[in-house]
Chain A
Amino acid sequence: MSNPPNNWEAIETEEEVIIPTYDGKGISDVIKVNVPAFRDPKTGEIYLAEKALQILDDIKARHMGLISREELKLLRAHLRCTQKELCALLQIGEKTWTRWETGRERPSRSMNLLLRALNEGRISVPWLLAQRPKTKPFEQKSGIGRTWHVRQKMKPEGAARVLAR
């Protein structure tokens, strides 16, 4: 939590979370949420910090149908891949998965569909591996070869589960 001036009071405030329509141009819903905040007693101004912003963004993401940070962590644990390996599998930037897990960035709606499909077993790691570009620079840069290697090293039950998908 950031350090507000000493005389600011810790309070709880009601904030609105606007849920956009699919095209992002309209508003589909407005949800009211109580979040922790700070109030400057002199001016009455209210300030939001880390915790409040995360709560608001998580609620927004959930109502937009985006896969949650917790679901992403569980999915990664289930697949027994590192964040970097998953980035290679999904052909996304090297640190993108990290940013998703920490809430510093959210998957796009289209990427969210792919993640949901992976999470629900509708597509598999082998299928994703089969989609990888064949160019050498990508393989070297992304470490995708290591992903395959790690998957081969999985415990039998883990590998069976992944391969069964």
Chain B
Amino acid sequence: MVAPIPADWRHAVCRTLSSHSLTSILIRQRARRDWQSLFPGTFHHEMVDVFIKALRNPQQTGRLVVTMDEPGIVYEFIFEHKSRAVYGKVNLQPNGDVIIYSAHRPLKGESL
């Protein structure tokens, strides 16, 4: 069910991403490649900034994903960047680390 993403989860993810140290962030290879194809001029820190911006939005909606192998709470969501819709999937792990699984054009239209 698509619903506003819980604030606790959003805030915790943003906290880790905002550290920008990249010591607590893993990016799946496919996500990096997809992002690079979508926005070839950007650096990785910009990708992280865009996710922070999206998740700071209290109106950001998403859907809980329970099919990932890694421990943690995963949400998928769609947000806009540079007038393009982007599908994101992020895992907040129990230790606070974050995995960015996806960052690409929505594959099923512009809704989850």
Please report A residues at the B interface, Cβ cutoff 8 Å: 1-5, 13, 15-16, 18, 20, 24, 27, 37-38, 40, 42-43, 45-50, 53-54, 56-57, 60-61, 99, 102-106
Contacts and interface: CB of A to CB of B under 8 A. Distances in A.
A46 B33 CA distance: 11
Interface of B: 20-30, 32-33, 36-37, 40-41, 43-45, 69-71, 95, 97, 99
Contacts of A57: 43-45
Contacts of A50: 21-23, 25
Nearest to A19: B40
B43 A48 contact: no
B22 A106 contact: no
B25 A2 contact: yes
Contacts of A5: 70-71
Contact of B22 (A13, A24, A38, A54): A54
Nearest to A17: B36
Contact of B29 (A4, A13, A27): A13
Given A54-B22, A60-B43, A2 B97 contact: yes
Nearest to A40: B69
B20 A49 contact: no
Nearest to B49: A105
A53 B99 contact: no
Nearest to B95: A3
Contacts of A54: 22
A53 B27 contact: yes
Contacts of A43: 69
27 contacts: A2-B22, A2-B25, A2-B26, A3-B95, A3-B97, A4-B26, A13-B29, A15-B33, A18-B40, A20-B41, A24-B40, A38-B26, A40-B69, A45-B28, A46-B29, A47-B99, A48-B27, A49-B27, A50-B23, A53-B27, A53-B44, A57-B44, A57-B45, A60-B43, A103-B45, A104-B45, A106-B43
A45 B45 contact: no
Contacts of B26: 2, 4, 38, 47-49
Contacts of B37: 18
Contacts of A99: 20
